[in-house]
Amino acid sequence: MAVVRKGRRLAATNSRWRVYFDHLSDGRGNDVADYLVIEGHHSRPGGVTGVDVLPVLGDKILLLRVHRHPIGRELWEVPRGFVDEHEAPAQAALRELNEETGLTCAADDLIALGTYAPEPSTMAGCGALFVASRCQGVPRRPDDELGIDTFALFDRQDIQKLIESGEIAQAGTLILYYRYCALRP
């Protein structure tokens, strides 16, 4: 059954997002006057507004320890960020990798692994998933990224333990890691 948007009200905006309250209705009499929708400013084909990138250094994977204010805790995550205006998702992945870790990766060593919908009931945007194989450089923690505490290199056994303990809980990181494992069993 189709849901129809009967109205839209802009609630807030910032440099990356627009927040709306939509008035939604369906043919069965269900009606929601203030349905929350978050929409990115710079959407690409397929609704891509952000990127997640899995950095591979030899047989290890680099993860960042990031404080997530809305849930009040720290999680281990892959580097991730927004696609800037006039930027392709692959370019954004290489930029975010460098900004958040100091690492570089040749464009030919960037492997696209599809997209995911972080919160399709609320967010009008998808994340493009990439593996940065054969990363180069010395990892470093950025000083200009809010919430990034540290980084560490992990093997697959360590990552499995972090998943089981709930220390890796960000959807993009989990989906990207499992797609990578399917690609490289």
d(CA 173, CA 31): 35
Are 97 and 55 a contacting pair, CB within 8 Å?
Answer: yes
d(CA 139, CA 155): 16
Q: How confident is the model at residue 27 (pLDDT cuts 50, 70, 90)?
A: confident
Q: Rounded to 10 degrees, what is the CA torsion of 46, 50, 52, 53? A: 90
Class of 45-183 in CATH: alpha beta
Q: Which two tokens stand for residue 174?
A: 């989990």
Q: How many helices (H) and strands (E) does the chain have?
A: 3, 11
Q: What is the pLDDT of residues 108-143, one digit of tens each?
A: 999 999 999 999 999 999 999 999 999 999 999 888
d(CA 23, CA 36): 9
Helices 171-183 and 156-165: crossing angle in degrees, nearest 10, is 150
Predicted confidence at residue 16, as pLDDT, reads: 86
Task: State yes or no: pLDDT of 184 exceeds 90.
Answer: no
Are 40 and 16 a contacting pair, CB within 8 Å?
Answer: yes
E strand or H helix at 52: strand 48-57
Task: State yes or no: pLDDT of 1 exceeds 80.
Answer: no
Phi/psi at 176 (5° precision):
-60, -45
Q: How confident is the model at residue 146 (pLDDT cuts 50, 70, 90)?
A: confident
More confident residue, 29 or 114: 114
| Domain segments of the chain as ranges | 3-40, 45-183
* C-alpha pair distances (Å), 108 with each of 45, 91, 112, 137: 21, 12, 11, 17
d(CA 44, CA 158): 34
Task: State yes or no: pLDDT of 185 exceeds 80.
Answer: no
Task: Provide mean pLDDT across the span 146-164.
Answer: 95
Task: State yes or no: pLDDT of 40 exceeds 90.
Answer: no
**pTM beyond cutoff 0.75:** yes
Strands 73-77 and 60-68, bridge-based pairing: antiparallel
The region of weakest confidence among 44-48, 104-108, 175-179 is: 44-48
